[in-house]
Amino acid sequence: MAMRSFGGHRLFKGNGVRLRRFAGGYVVNFDHEVSGFEGAWATDLLGDGLARIAPGTINRFAAKIGKALLTDTPPPLLNFGKAKLASDGRGWICAEVTCDPARQWQIIDLQIVQVADPDHDEDESRNAATSVNSIGGARPLANHRARAPLAMLRKRDGGGIDVFQIAYFDLQHSVALYPDHTPQRHFFW
């Protein structure tokens, strides 16, 4: 490592660092490119109600938008139009699993959807007891479905929408059942 020494203090240059001296002192430059991280399910908003979601799997079952796999070329885009948002301006991009109770609740379909609430369907009525999920897991939905949040949408005062990534890796899924074999909770990990 190259070193500058002055007044009893020493500066050590690390990897990717350049020191340039001038009359006013030293300028510190970095050569490193800013690196990001894009895992599975990475969500980008493209404007006009369109989103691109990186491929991902649940129990190795590949996700789709409609009939198109996320791994298709070109990859499909999620066209959700006007974002469905809750009263607090939040919405979610979710992976929605459909399971088959006759086949040990195996996943038979995996769709990417945009919803206002991962734990409730739009037309579902709520009460105080069901509005908050106090036992965790994913709440079972009608027709043997459940949703894993992948990204959260947040509407800003200026009207724009920001996206916050939640899931970064392929997931596993399982269902906990009541004694009468109805679904109690869905787990994603």
Partner 1 sequence: MKAGAYPNNPLSGRPLFSDPVFQLHPGKGARLARVGRQNLIRAVPREPGWLHPWTVTPLFEPKDAAALKPGEADSEWRAYIEPGFVNGREAFIKMPPAWPPGRKQAPGEEPRDVALTDEQPPYLVIDGFRNPLSAGGIVEKENGDFVVAAGEGYPKFFETLGVKRPARGGDLLDATSFDSPQDDQRTRQIRACDIVLTHPRMGSHVDFQQVQVPLTQPAELIGSPVFDSSFALATGGRSRLRATAHFQTSPVDSLDALFLTLTGTQTPQFDELKIATIWFISPPEALDDAIPDGTWEAYVQHSVFWNLNHATKVAPPTEAADPVHFFLPLAGGAGQLAIDLSLFVVNELISELTSLLNAADTNGYFWSI
Which residue shows structure tokens 């007044």? 7
Q: Find the helix or strand (DSSP H, E) in which 139 lies.
A: none
Which residue shows structure tokens 């006759």? 102
3-state secondary structure of 131: helix
* Tokens (6 digits) for 99: 């399971």
Diameter over CA atoms, the chain: 81
Q: Is 185 in the site for partner 1 (CB under 8 A)?
A: yes
Q: Is 133 in the site for partner 1 (CB under 8 A)?
A: yes
Among residue numbers 41 through 100, which ones bind partner 1 (CB under 8 A)?
A: 92
Q: Is 122 in the site for partner 1 (CB under 8 A)?
A: no
C-alpha closest to that of 96 among 186, 34, 35, 176: 186
C-alpha closest to that of 13 among 39, 37, 31, 25: 31
Among residue numbers 143 through 182, which ones bind partner 1 (CB under 8 A)?
A: 148-149, 152, 154, 156-157, 162, 164, 166-169, 171, 176, 178-180, 182
Q: Which of 15, 73, 134, 143 binds partner 1 (CB under 8 A)?
A: 134
- Smallest separation, CB 95 to partner 1 (Å): 11
One symbol per residue from 11 to 30: x for binding partner 1 (CB under 8 A), - otherwise; what is it?
Answer: ------xx-x--xxxxxxxx
For residue 19, what are the β-bridge partners? 28
Chain residues binding partner 1 by CB under 8 A are: 6-9, 17-18, 20, 23-32, 34-37, 92, 118, 128-129, 131-137, 148-149, 152, 154, 156-157, 162, 164, 166-169, 171, 176, 178-180, 182, 184-185, 187-189
